[in-house]
Structure 1
Amino acid sequence: MSEAVKDRRFPIGLTIATLIAFAILCVLGGWQIKRLAWKQDLLARIEVLKTAPAQPLATVLAGVPATGGDDASWTRVAVDCAPDKAQTLPLVYGVRDGDIVWRATALCRTPGAGYGAILLDLGVVKALTGQSAPTPLALAAPAQAVGVLMAPKSLGGDRAATLTRFAADKPAPYILMVETATPAPPGIVPAPLPAEISNRHLEYALTWFGLAVTLLFIYAAMLWRKMRS
């Protein structure tokens, strides 16, 4: 077989590789479209949350399965905490406005809410901003707290590990991101919601689909040139 004939053979390997790459790019674009729908729903829920009244924690948790989930996430609730001694719980690392911050947590015992307790995220410890290895604080839960429920998996820091420490108390499968506390813990600034939530999933989806189309054009050009030579 001559070299010219070999060169004109249909490029099976190149075609398979192109199809695989094209499929991967399309899957990534489709995934970003799904993320776009999820983010739009999330932003809509946050917008409603800005004016939503706080519901009693017991009422909200009554409809939540024991395994938790996202059923009650982004719901504003109010809770009364039973008097308890101060406890030293891990500080949670975070970044806010470009600075290292540390968030304080406390355990709120809630005998009347269907669960024995719920973990409170009290907010940012102002004096610890910028520190790399701060000393843990001993904090007691406030008598009352109003905030937003969040699933541990959607938050930074190993809050889920803190919950397992109190497994005997049957803690609720959510973290209460405190907006207001009574009495307010000194030196702590409530920061229940992200300062800014980006939504660039449409841009990402168009990028992936654009790469997929570009790949097809490159493949077609290479195929045309190979078969024409």
Structure 2
Amino acid sequence: MIRKVPIIPTIIVLAAVGTMIALGFWQLDRRAQKEALLARYAEAQATSAAVAWPGNEAAAERALFHHARLDCERVLSVTPRAGTSVDGRKGWANIARCAIGGGAEADVAIGWSVEPEPAAWQGGPVEGIVAPGPRLVVGQPPAGLAQLAAPDPADIPNNHLAYAGQWFFFALTALVIYVLALRRKRRP
């Protein structure tokens, strides 16, 4: 007696399982890429030479975690956002939106405060570390503000191994459920 396996549902389940397995391997590949990126960021963090403030997204990616300088010619606004001081206290990071010449603008994290009141800052030349955004996290805050915690590549998560495990688990679960469903259907 030959048991019949439904063709269309089997093809759909196998295609889904194949897709999930492919996504698992893709996450493993992304893990290796992220590790290389984090190593590059750690190397940039150890370099003391300043880079030019990035003018586009590609330059911003290359400048992350490097030291940089810029001249805030005019402060357009100062916005408090959640932030952490260099000594680990939670509070407010004052982010200044600056006109920097040539019609360009930049975000500058000028310092940390306990209160969510925007700091009064007139701009000028600043130095710091290029953080994701991009924004410049200054090393010497203006009077009245404390230093912000420096951006750290170690704060960037690399969860791709866990994601790969989830996709492989989903594939296995789909197969088990399908086999159990076929068995249940075959019972008299």
> Counterpart in 1 of 2:24?
29
* 1:102 aligned onto 2:97: no
Secondary structure, aligned partner of 1:10: coil
TM-score normalised by structure 2 residue count? 0.70
Task: Say which of 84, 92, 99 aligns to 2:81.
Answer: 92
**RMSD over aligned Cα atoms:** 3.8
Task: Say which of 111, 120, 125 aligns to 1:143.
Answer: 125
Is the 1:29–1:209 contact (alpha carbons within 8 Å) kept by the matching residues of 2?
Answer: yes
Task: Give the Cα–Cα distance (whole angstroms) in 2 for the partners of residues 50 and 98 of structure 1.
Answer: 19
Give 1:120 shift.
1.0
Q: Which runs of 5+ in 2 are unaligned?
A: none
Is the 2:71–2:125 contact (alpha carbons within 8 Å) kept by the matching residues of 1?
Answer: yes
Task: Give the Cα–Cα distance (whole angstroms) in 1 for the partners of residues 84 and 8 of structure 2.
Answer: 47
> Counterpart in 2 of 1:57?
52
CA 1:93–1:27 in 2, change beyond 3 Å: closer, same or farther?
farther
Is the 2:107–2:135 contact (alpha carbons within 8 Å) kept by the matching residues of 1?
Answer: yes
Is the 2:28–2:161 contact (alpha carbons within 8 Å) kept by the matching residues of 1?
Answer: yes
Task: Say which of 77, 81, 85 aligns to 2:71.
Answer: 81
Aligned residues: 185
Q: How does 1:165-176 map to 2 (within 5 A)?
A: 174-176=134-136
Task: Give the Cα–Cα distance (whole angstroms) in 2 for the partners of residues 10 and 23 of structure 1.
Answer: 19
Give 1:190 shift.
1.9
Query: What does the per-residue CA deviation read over 1:42-68, in whole Å, with 9 as the maximum and x for residues that have no partner?
Result: 32023212310232426xx4xx6xx53
> Counterpart in 2 of 1:119?
107
> Counterpart in 2 of 1:167?
none
Task: Give the Cα–Cα distance (whole angstroms) in 1 for the partners of residues 179 and 70 of structure 2.
Answer: 67
> Counterpart in 2 of 1:155?
none
Task: Give the Cα–Cα distance (whole angstroms) in 1 for the partners of residues 40 and 146 of structure 2.
Answer: 26
Query: What does the per-residue CA deviation read over 1:150-172, in whole Å, with 9 as the maximum and x for residues that have no partner?
Result: 3x3xxxxxxxxxxxxxxxxxxxx
CA 1:175–1:197 in 2, change beyond 3 Å: closer, same or farther?
closer
Give 1:109 shift.
4.9
Give 1:94 shift.
5.3
> Counterpart in 2 of 1:204?
163
Give 1:95 shift.
7.6
Give 1:107 shift.
4.1
Task: Give the Cα–Cα distance (whole angstroms) in 1 for the partners of residues 39 and 125 of structure 2.
Answer: 31
Task: Give the Cα–Cα distance (whole angstroms) in 1 for the partners of residues 9 and 30 of structure 2.
Answer: 32
Q: Which runs of 5+ in 1 are unaligned?
A: 129-133, 153-173
1:89 alignment partner AA: V
> Counterpart in 2 of 1:166?
none
Structure 1 range deviating more: 23-32 or 44-53 = 23-32
Task: Give the Cα–Cα distance (whole angstroms) in 2 for the partners of residues 31 and 210 of structure 1.
Answer: 15
Is the 2:84–2:148 contact (alpha carbons within 8 Å) kept by the matching residues of 1?
Answer: no
Task: State the identity %.
Answer: 29
Task: Give the Cα–Cα distance (whole angstroms) in 2 for the partners of residues 95 and 208 of structure 1.
Answer: 35
